[in-house]
Amino acid sequence: MSILVNKDSRVIVQGITGSEGTFHASQMLDYGTRIVAGVTPGKGGQMALDGQIPVFDTVEEARTKTQADVSIIFVPPAFAADAIIEAAYAGIGLVVCITEGIPIHDMVRVKRIIDMEGTRLVGPNCPGIITVDECKLGIMPGFITRKGSVGVVSKSGTLTYEAIGQLVSAGLGQTTAIGIGGDPIIGTSMKDVLQLFEADPETEGVVIIGEIGGQMEIEAARWAQKNMSKPIVGFIAGQTAPPGRRMGHAGAIVSGGDDTAEAKMRILGECGIAVCESVATIGETMKRMLKA
């Protein structure tokens, strides 16, 4: 099994005719992702990806014609919020938004609508999802992964790749890896993903990668302490970040209290999570936890 996507997921690519959409959709298709349609307003009737994928003007038309259940968005920031909302109104159950730089006030509107429509959003400003050897949605490099039993959830794209690399070096593969994004308002939280991994019988352990700012990692850790039966290995980025300065993601800013890296690492440890001081020890730590 896996979480969120698998080999049967039927995928729409919003923005498929743009340079980013074309490039990454080609990579996704090569990986084995079942892309059934693209959407670009005004270009309906065309064929994308060397004539392999039909293009529609609207998500609703694409979903009706192809029975798609997932959409991935490669749309510029000014139009990305409306693209998410369009997918939600069309009845798409899972939307993954790669776009960086969506204004916060736009995301407030998006969050309200997707909650009303029952659509799960991953992102924005995220690398996407990969269920190993089945489905790749986004910009994660598929060749670094290996099929296995460890789930990965991260706020950081590059650290997701590093964690996967460390797991593979330790002889461990992955079920699904998901980058949830680091913006102040995102669709799917770390706790949401832990709930999904806990329910997945093929996932035997989970790696979580957080960062300074906010309370998401703490909320996830406290939920896991009471509800999670599987071992968790954690890493918090930003251990040397100065207070009050944004580092990397828009949500990564420390205001004081328990949103510092030190405080989060302490709380994760108190909740039974094996906390790594360095990302380089994630693989061996998880290997040891799974053997315990």
Q: Known catalytic residues?
A: 249
Query: At 100, is the secondary structure helix, strand, or coil?
Result: coil
* Token pair of 48 as six digits: 């994308």
Contact call for residues 15 and 45 (beta carbons, < 8 A):
no
Distances in whole angstroms, Cα of residue 143 to Cα of each of 1, 137, 139, 161, 208: 20, 14, 12, 11, 21
- Give residue for tokens 């994630």: 282
CB 21 within 8 A of CB 38: yes
Query: Under 8 Å CB-to-CB from 226, ≥6 apart: which residues?
Result: none
8 Å CB contact between 14 and 74:
yes
Q: Is the dihedral of CA 96, 140, 283, 240 positive or negative?
A: negative
At residue 135's C-alpha, the angle toward residues 182 and 169, to 5°, is: 70
Structure tokens, 244: 């009050």
Cβ contact 146:201 at 8 Å: no
| Ranges of H-type helices in the chain | 19-31, 59-66, 77-89, 104-117, 157-169, 190-199, 216-227, 261-270, 282-291
